[in-house]
Chains A and B, each alone.
Chain A
Amino acid sequence: MIELINLEKTYPSGNGKVVALSDVNLTISDGDVFGIIGLSGAGKSTLVRCINFLEQPQSGKVIVDGVDLSSVSQKELRKIRRNIGMIFQSFNLLEQRTVEKNVLFPLELAKIPKEKAQKRVDELLEIVGLSDKKKAYPSQLSGGQKQRVAIARALATYPKYLLCDEATSALDPNTTSSILSLLKKINSELGVTIIVITHEMKVIESVCSKVAVIDNSKIAEVGDVSEVFSNPKSEIAKELVIPDLIRSIKNQNGYKFRLVFNGESSNTPTISALALEKGISANIIYADTKLIDGKIYGHLVFTLSGGREQFEETKKFLEEKGVKYFAEAE
C-alpha cells in the first residue's frame, strides 16, 4: 500500500515560488490500477516522482508498505526503489545499449548473477513481446516498442509497484491501446499495482479502477473510475470527463437530458424506445458511447422539442427503464 499524507511541494521560481503540490492525501491499495489525471502543470509528474522520492516533498509523508521514505538512508531508499518500477513519456532508454542490455541494467544494479539475470531478461522480453528484438538498439525501434522495452526494464526486479508518467502520451491511438492492454495484463497476471499518470480520460477509462483528479496542485476528487466517470463532482473532473458535453449543454436552451451508460446491457435502445413507446423524439446533441462486451458505456445528451409535460414524461420513462440520467430545464 502507498500512502501519501499531507504532501506539500513547492519549487523556487525566480523571486517567488511555484506550488506544485499542496495538501495531497491519497491511498493506493495493492492490486489497484490507480489513475491520476489532471491538466498540464497540475502537478502530476511531481506527485508521481514523490512516490519514489525522486522528488522530496517539503512536508508530508510518503509511506510505502509501512515505511516512511523520509526516514530511511540513501542506501535503503535505493533498495526500496527497486520495488517501484517507473516508465516515462520519453521512454528514457539507454541509447548505447541493446534492448537486451537495457533490460539487464536494473539487474546489474541489483547485482543479480549473470546467468540468472539473462534468464530474467529473456522472460521479460517474452512478456512484452519483443524477444525478436533482443539485439536491436533503441534507435531501431518504434515508440511503442521502446515503451515495451521500458516496461520490461521497469519490471526486471519484480517490483510490486509500477509508476507510469504519461507512458502513452507520445504514442498513436493504436499503440496506446496495445501498451494499455499490456499494463492491464501486468496488473492482472503479475499482480503489480500500477499508478497511471495521464491527461487523457480515455487512458483512465480503459485501464484504471480508481482515479484521482488533480487540479492546480490539489486533489480535486478521488473515487472509483465508474463513479467519477458517470457522476463527476468537481468542475475539473466534469471538464475532463465530458469536455465537449459541457460546451454543448451550455449552448442549448430548453429541456436537456444527459444519460450515463455505465455498463448496462445495450439491448434496450433507449432513444428509439422513447420514440416508439412515448412518441417523443429526442434531438441528440452529443453522444460518446461505446460497446464493450455487449455493454454500453458513455454519455448521451439530448434535448426535447416539446414542453414541460414531455419533459416529465421522459423523466418517468427513463426511471422506469433504469437509465441513469441528469435532467435540466430552463
Chain B
Amino acid sequence: MSADLTKLIESGNLFIGIFDTVWMTLLSSLIGYIVGLPLGVLLYATDKGGLKPLPIVNKILGFIVNIFRSMPFIILMVAMLPVAKLIVGTGIGNKAMVVMLVIASAPYISRMVESSLKEIDGGVIEAAKSMGASDFEIILKVLLPEAKPSLIIGAVISTVTVLGYCAMSSTIGGTGLGQIAIVYGHNRHNDDIIWICVLFILIIVQIIQEFGMAYAKKTDKRIRRQKK
C-alpha cells in the first residue's frame, strides 16, 4: 500500500471523495429527471402518432436534444462553463459541475423517457380516450404509471451514465473518486489508488443496478408471480 493511499484513508479524504461522487451523481440525476422527464413526455406527445402531434415543435426539440446528446461530455463541459457561471455564479467547484451534469444528462434522460413511453400499447391509450380522458390525464394516469417499470430501468441506466460523467468532471475541477484517481493515482503513479477508486465506483454502480432492477421488477405487475 502506497504512503499516499494510507494518507488518503487516514485523513478521511477517500470517503469524502466517495461521498462527493454519490451526492453529485444522485443530485444531478434527480434534477436531470426534473428537466428530462417533462421533456421526454413532450418529445413523445408531439411526435407523429402521439397525443398531440406538433411536427415543428417535435423537430426543434429533437434537434436540440440531439446536439447535446451527440457532443462528447468532455467538450460539452468546457463549452457549458459560461452557462454554469450564469446559473450558479461560478464556473468551478461541485455546484458548477452539477449544472454541467444536468445539462449533459437531461437530454439523455428525455430520450430514455421517450422510449419507455413508446413501449406503451396504443390500444390502452385509445381505451382511455374512449372513456373521456384528456391528454393530460392520459399522461398522468396511463402513460407514466404503465411505463413505470421501464422508466425505473431507464433511471438506473441514466444514473450510471451520470456517475461516469461525474468522474470525468474531475478533469475541470470536480471532486470525488474521479479526482482522487487522477490527482493521487495517475499523476503520482499510485496504481493502488486508481484500483481503489475503480473498486468503489464498481460498488456504487452495482448498488444502483441491483436496487434499481429489483425495484423495477417488483413494481412490474405484468410479471406473473406464483402466490406464496
| Chain A residues engaging chain B, CB cutoff 8 angstroms | 52, 54, 74, 78-82, 84-86, 88, 90, 92-98, 105-106, 108-110, 137-140, 150, 153-154, 157, 163
B124 at the interface (CB under 8 A from A): yes
Instruction: Tell yes or no: B55 within 8 A of A by CB.
Output: no
Contact of B130 among A86, A94, A96, A108 (CB under 8 A): A86
* Cross-chain contact B221 with A106 (CB below 8 angstroms): no
Known contacts A88-B123, A88-B126, A137-B222; 15 additional CB pairs below 8 A are: A52-B130, A74-B134, A78-B133, A81-B131, A81-B132, A84-B130, A85-B131, A90-B121, A92-B126, A95-B124, A98-B221, A105-B131, A108-B141, A109-B141, A139-B221
- Would A94 and B224 be within 8 Å (CB), given that A106-B131, A109-B133 are in contact? no
Instruction: Report how far A315 CA is from B130 CA in the complex, Å.
Output: 53
Smallest Cβ-Cβ distance to B133: which chain A residue: A109
State the Cβ distance, A110 to closest chain B Cβ, in Å.
Answer: 7
Q: Are A92 and B127 in contact (CB under 8 A)?
A: yes
B126's contact among A54, A79, A106, A154, by CB below 8 Å, is which?
Answer: A54
Q: Please state if B223 and A109 are interface contacts (CB–CB under 8 Å).
A: no
Q: Is B69 on the interface with A (CB-CB < 8 A)?
A: no
Q: Cβ of B132 and Cβ of A106 under 8 Å apart?
A: yes
Q: Point out the residues of chain A lying under 8 angstroms from B219, CB to CB.
A: 96
* B145 on the A face (CB < 8 A): yes
**Shortest beta-carbon distance, B100 to chain A, in Å?**
35
Bound: A2/B124 CA distance, A: 25
Query: What are 20 sample pairs from A and B whose C-beta atoms fall under 8 A apart?
Result: A78-B132, A81-B131, A88-B123, A92-B121, A92-B127, A93-B127, A94-B146, A95-B146, A96-B149, A96-B222, A97-B221, A98-B221, A105-B128, A105-B141, A106-B131, A109-B131, A109-B132, A137-B221, A154-B131, A163-B130
Contacts of B141 in A (CB 8 A): 105, 108-109
Q: Which residue of A lies closest to B146 (CB)?
A: A96
Min CB–CB distance A228 → chain B (angstroms): 28
Chain B 132-167 interface mask (CB, 8 Å, partner A; 1/0):
111001000110011011000000000000000000
The chain A residue sitting closest to B144, CB to CB, is A96
* Residues of chain A within 8 A of B7, CB atoms compared: none
Given contacts A92-B126, A94-B124, contact A110 B132 (CB under 8 A): yes
B145 touches A96 (CB 8 A): yes
Closest A residue to B124 by beta carbon equals: A92
Chain B, residue nearest A108 (CB) = B141
* Pairwise interchain contact B130-A139, C-beta atoms closer than 8 A: no
Which residue of the partner chain, among B132, B221, B223, contacts A79 with CB atoms under 8 Å? B132
The CA of A206 and the CA of B76, in the complex, are separated in Å by 67
B129: chain A residues within 8 A (beta carbon): 54, 81
Q: What is the CA–CA distance of A54 and B132 in the complex, to the nearest angstrom? A: 10
Chain A residues with Cβ below 8 Å from B132 are 78-82, 106, 109-110, 157
Cβ–Cβ contact A86 & B133, under 8 A = no
Cβ-defined contact, B130 with A54, below 8 A? yes
In Å, the complex CA distance between A3 and B38 comes to 41
- CB distance A82 to B131 under 8 Å? yes
Write out the residue numbers on chain B whose beta carbons fall within 8 Å of the beta carbon of A81. 129-132
User: Which of B131, B133, B145, B219 has its CB near the most chain A CB atoms (within 10 A)?
Assistant: B131
Min CB gap B122→A, angstroms: 9
With a CB–CB cut-off of 8 A, which chain B residues contact A98?
221
- The 0/1 profile, CB within 8 Å of A marked 1, for residues 99-127 of chain B is 00000000000000000000001011011
B147 to chain A, nearest CB (A): 9
**Would you call A95 and B131 a contact (CB within 8 A)?**
no
Q: Which residue of A lies closest to B142 (CB)?
A: A94
Interface residues of B in 176-228 (CB under 8 A from A): 219-224
Q: List residues of chain B with CB within 8 A of the CB of A108.
A: 141
Q: Which residue of B lies closest to A163 (CB)?
A: B130
Contacting residues, chain A, for B146 (C-beta < 8 A) = 94-96
B-chain residues with CB within 8 Å of residue A150 when the two chains form the complex = 127
A90 and B123 form a contact (CB under 8 A): yes
Contact indicator A109/B126 (Cβ below 8 Å):
no
Query: Are A92's CB and B123's CB within 8 A?
Result: yes
A contact residues around B220 at 8 Å (CB): 96
Q: Which of B46-94 contact A (CB under 8 A)?
A: none
Q: Which B residue's beta carbon lies closest to that of A84? A: B130
Are B222 and A95 in contact (CB-based, < 8 A)?
yes
